[in-house]
Structure formats: C-alpha cells, structure tokens
Structure 1
Amino acid sequence: MKRFRTVELEAGKNTGRPALRLAHLSDLHGCFYGENQEGLLEAVHLEAPDLIVVTGDMIVGSPTVNRRTFAFFKELTKDYPVFFCNGNHETRYQASEGFQPVYKHFAYGLWKNGVEILNNRSVVFEKNGRKVLLSGYEADLSYFSRFNRKVPSEEELKAKLGEKRIGMETVLLAHNPMFFPVYKKWGADLTFSGHLHGGYIRIPGIGGVISPQFQPFPKYDRGIFEEEGHWLCVSAGLGDHTISPRFFNPPELPVVTWYG
C-alpha cells in the first residue's frame, strides 16, 4: 500500500474557547491508499475531525476510478460533513467540451454521496458554539497557465463570493495558495489550499523548489502560514497527476486544530 503522513497543525490562538478540527484532503489525482482507500479512511477516523475540507484535483478521466472516489466520499460523509471546492483539474474538465460529461458525472457523484460543493458559494457551519462561514473560490483557468503571474483582485472575490460577513469567522477553500494576500484582504480568517504539491522537490531548510506554474521557490509551498492574523494551510497533496518527483516531500493529510 502507498504511504502518506498525517500532519498535525494549529491555527489561531488558544484562548480557551472550543477549537474546531478540520481534516484537509487535496490533490488526490486518482491515487489510492488501499483498494477502497482504507488507509486514508483509517487515518481520518483516527483524527476524528469536526469537518473535512477538500480543495480539489480529485477528478480523473476514468469513470471507474471516479466511482471508487465516490465510494470513498460516501464512507466519509457517514461520519463527517464534507465540503469541496474545484481545483484546476475539475475546472478544466468542466470547461472542455469533450470532458464536460466526465465533470458532470463527477459533480453529481459527489453531491449524491453527501458532499457539499462550494464552487463560488458559501454555507454556514455551526459546532462547538462556533458559527463559521465556509466559502469556496473557483479561480479561472487563466490563473493556472504555465508561467502565469496574473493575480485575482479582491473585487473578483467579492463578485464571486460577496462581501466578508462582519462578525462571522470565515474559512475559505481556494485551490491555489499563491493568492493568499488577496484571500486575506477579502477577509478569510483561515484558508485551505493545495495545488503546489509541496514544491515537488524540497531542499531541507529552504523549502519547495518549483510550482506547477514554474515559479521557483514558491513562498506558500507546504504547511501553515500566518500573516496579520490570517492563516493559510497548504497541503502537499495526496497524489500526483503526472510522473513527478517527490524528494523530502511525502504525500500528506493535514489536520488543523483551529482556535479562531
């Protein structure tokens, strides 16, 4: 069985208020940890999160593999609320005429198996006396082109997600972490991202070497980041969509204890 690691992270300051535990799945790319994802399911159950957030790149071109992914989510939603936002692979399938049927089947499969899809929409989640706005930002494909340096504006996020709700904590699912300055300006208290695969090759003491857009040594490559009281969790991902080297960079399941 393929291996991955579970990473325990913390966000916010522990002031004694009830914390929320969020398990973060990202960039699975059709990879399996056991025939029926039993390795990944067991790891999630051991962590017993309050909710699961999924930041995309779960789709593949094979309907058979996608159906196995649906079965995995069906098991998860028996015990946990699961929230999903598209990554660039889902967005690409949705935009491609030839792959639209695959995407529609994928999105329907998630919905049918209890997954809440947050593509440019928000829902309110309540637990442990905490009321949290969960939002999902689906970026246009132009932001994922090779050598891209284009950055979305705060106005774009407002157009897609609305204004930050004053007095309510906000968790944002946004596949690309490179735009964290925009996410925090919009008002996200805690953002979950993936996409960078940890920078593929990691140099100890330095970090990830390159992003999928060929940006060298990306700043938000893997782990937890804090800027001006806003937090970002970046997963190194659970799989790879091409033959990609992973040196000092194992696949991972981040679990964030968020104090708010």
Structure 2
Amino acid sequence: MNNRRINRRTFLKHSLSVAGSLGILAGFSGLYGIFGERYWIQLRTVRLSYRRYPPAFAGVRIVQFSDTHIGKHYSIGHVARVVALIQRQKPDIICFTGDLFDSQYGEVTDDVIPVLSRLQAGMGKFAVLGNHDMRLSSERVRDVLERSGFTVLVNDNRTIERGNGRIRVAGLDEIFHGKPDLPHALQGAKEDEFVLLLAHEPDFADTAVAHPIDLQLSGHSHGGQIRIPFYGSLFTPDLGQKYQIGLYGFEKSEFQVYTNRGIGTTLFPIRFNCRPEITVFVLETKLP
C-alpha cells in the first residue's frame, strides 16, 4: 500500500513537472512567434528553366514580395526594412502580389509611398491587388502603388524587352471581390512568349494551367503562417489551401506556381515555423 502511495505521488509530481515544462515551452513558442519569427525575413533564391524563356534574359533577377498587411501589427518602419532587403538583391524586376494593407487592423495611407518609391528595378515594378486591398478600397490602394512607381495590372499585361528577346508580365484582378478575366489579361501574348502571371490567390493555378502561362506568382496563404511540425498549417484561407507554400509543378506541363509566404500576418500577429519571405527568381532557358 505504501509503495502504491509513493508511486502515485511520484506519478503526480512527474505529471505536474511535465505539464509545467510544456506550459513554459508553449509560452516561449508564443513569444518567439510574436516577437521573433514574424520579423525574421528569409531570403530565398529559386532557380527555374523554361523552353520559352529567352536567352537574352539570362541573369535577370525577379524579386517577389507579398502580403505586407500594413496596419496595427506591421508598421511602415517595418516595410522600410523589407525595401532595404529587396534592394540588396539587385532586382531587375519587382513583383508585389497583393494585400499591401490589412483590412482588419489597418487603413490606406499615403505615408508608405516614399518608402515603396525607394524600390528600384530597371525592367519595372509590377503589382496586383489582394482581397484585403479590395475590402478597403481598390482605387485608393491602386493609387498608392502607382504613385510609388508600380504598374498595377488588373486583367492586363506588359511586355519587357531585352536584346532580341522579350517576356510578358500579366496580372489578374482579385478573385473574391474583383472581376478576374484571364483571356483579357493575356491579350496580345504570342504563342512563343514567356508569360509570368501575377495572381493573388494561388489556387487559381488550376485555371491558369490550361492557358499559355509559364509561371504564376501568388501570395494570400501566408504559407499557413502557423505550421506545426509533422502536421502542417493550422489554417489557410479559401483559394490558398491547395497550393499553400513554395513551388508546385503540373503533369504534362511546364507551368508552375510559386506561393510566397508573405511578409506580414493576418488574424493573429504570430508566425511559427513559417518565416516571412522575399523570393528571388533566377530563370534560364531550358535546352531542347
């Protein structure tokens, strides 16, 4: 009987110790996610090759960032650090894939224009709007981006030429609150042209794959934002659930979609196992 009491006491003491340790670990994880990881930006280089990518564009650096969600939990000062990091990558083309401001904890402000204007790219700065931008004011956000030097593509495209080669950058209107029209966005694109599509929601790739598009760049999902090891993300938004994070290919097609993890946060100001991201794409021509 005494041994049983001792064992029960030992078990209870051990259980309380484990529970306390788990509580401390959870506390540290929460603090890390709130004050550490969500400001710890990862620079990622992705190298890809395509048959339609012109040799004249060899060495061109395409830099993508997304989902800054400027507002209560991400300040313009933080965006200034992002801009400095992007410029260090020596971008030739800059692509922003939506959600400049946070619709729940932010508002559209011109104060970010001098900061975004520091971004310089010899071949252009291109952007599409995200669902949070649309909830606030598509016209106001578009105006802020354009006054910052971005070409905002709403079912539209632009041609970039270099030497004897050219590529086309297309942008899709936001899916939830806009009127996406992919055929119009691709209007004028030639069959042999490399086409880069900017679309805020990554799951649009299931539609894009059936069109003459080589690479789709998206954001929206934040990579899941909170990712549990061996489990994955706790939550991803609609149209950001199938292609949540990173690069995805498709059978019998060269088409690929890349989902950037974004810079800011949504719903909760926390990231865990899912650092904010700036992506540098270095493309080359695939030999036959």
**TM-score (norm. length: structure 1):** 0.79
Tell me what 1:168 maps to: 193
Once the 2 structures are TM-superposed, how far is the Cα of residue 201 of structure 1 from its aligned partner? 2.3
Tell me what 1:136 maps to: 171
**Matched-pair contact (CA < 8 Å) for 1:200–1:244:** no
Tell me what 2:154 maps to: 119
**1:93-115 alpha-carbon deviations (Å, 9 max, x no partner):** 34xxxxxxxx4333222222321
* Secondary structure of 2:197 counterpart: strand
**Matched-pair contact (CA < 8 Å) for 1:171–1:189:** yes
* Secondary structure of 2:109 counterpart: helix
Query: Which of 231, 239, 259 is the equivalent residue of 2:264?
Result: 239
The answer to whether the aligner puts 1:5 opposite 2:39 as a matched pair is: no
User: How many angstroms apart in 1 are the aligned matches of 2:120 and 2:258?
Assistant: 22
User: How many angstroms apart in 1 are the aligned matches of 2:175 and 2:45?
Assistant: 31
Deviating more after overlay: 28-37 vs 227-236: 28-37
**1:43-91 alpha-carbon deviations (Å, 9 max, x no partner):** 112211211001100034656x632321222110476621011111222
Aligned residues: 238
**Matched-pair contact (CA < 8 Å) for 1:60–1:66:** no
User: How many angstroms apart in 1 are the aligned matches of 2:152 and 2:239?
Assistant: 29
User: How many angstroms apart in 2 are the aligned matches of 1:81 and 1:16?
Assistant: 18
Percent identity, aligned pairs only? 24
* Secondary structure of 1:10 counterpart: strand
Where do 1:1-260 residues align within 5 Å? 2-12=39-49, 17=55, 18-30=58-70, 32=74, 35=77, 37-60=79-102, 66-77=109-120, 81-94=124-137, 103-127=138-162, 129-141=164-176, 156-162=181-187, 164-204=189-229, 207-213=232-238, 218-227=241-250, 228-243=253-268, 245-260=270-285
User: How many angstroms apart in 1 are the aligned matches of 2:203 and 2:121?
Assistant: 33
**1:127-180 alpha-carbon deviations (Å, 9 max, x no partner):** 36541111101133269xxxxxxxx8xxx5225543753111100000011121
Q: Which runs of 4+ in 1 moved over 6 A?
A: none
- Give the letter aligned to residue 98 of structure 2: G
* Secondary structure of 2:195 counterpart: strand
Rate the CA distance shift 1:46–1:33 in 2: closer, same or farther, 3 A. farther
Once the 2 structures are TM-superposed, how far is the Cα of residue 251 of structure 1 from its aligned partner? 0.9
**Matched-pair contact (CA < 8 Å) for 2:168–2:189:** no
**Matched-pair contact (CA < 8 Å) for 1:33–1:39:** no
* Secondary structure of 1:68 counterpart: helix
**TM-score (norm. length: structure 2):** 0.72
User: How many angstroms apart in 1 are the aligned matches of 2:239 and 2:209?
Assistant: 24
RMSD: 3.0
User: How many angstroms apart in 1 are the aligned matches of 2:267 and 2:46?
Assistant: 28
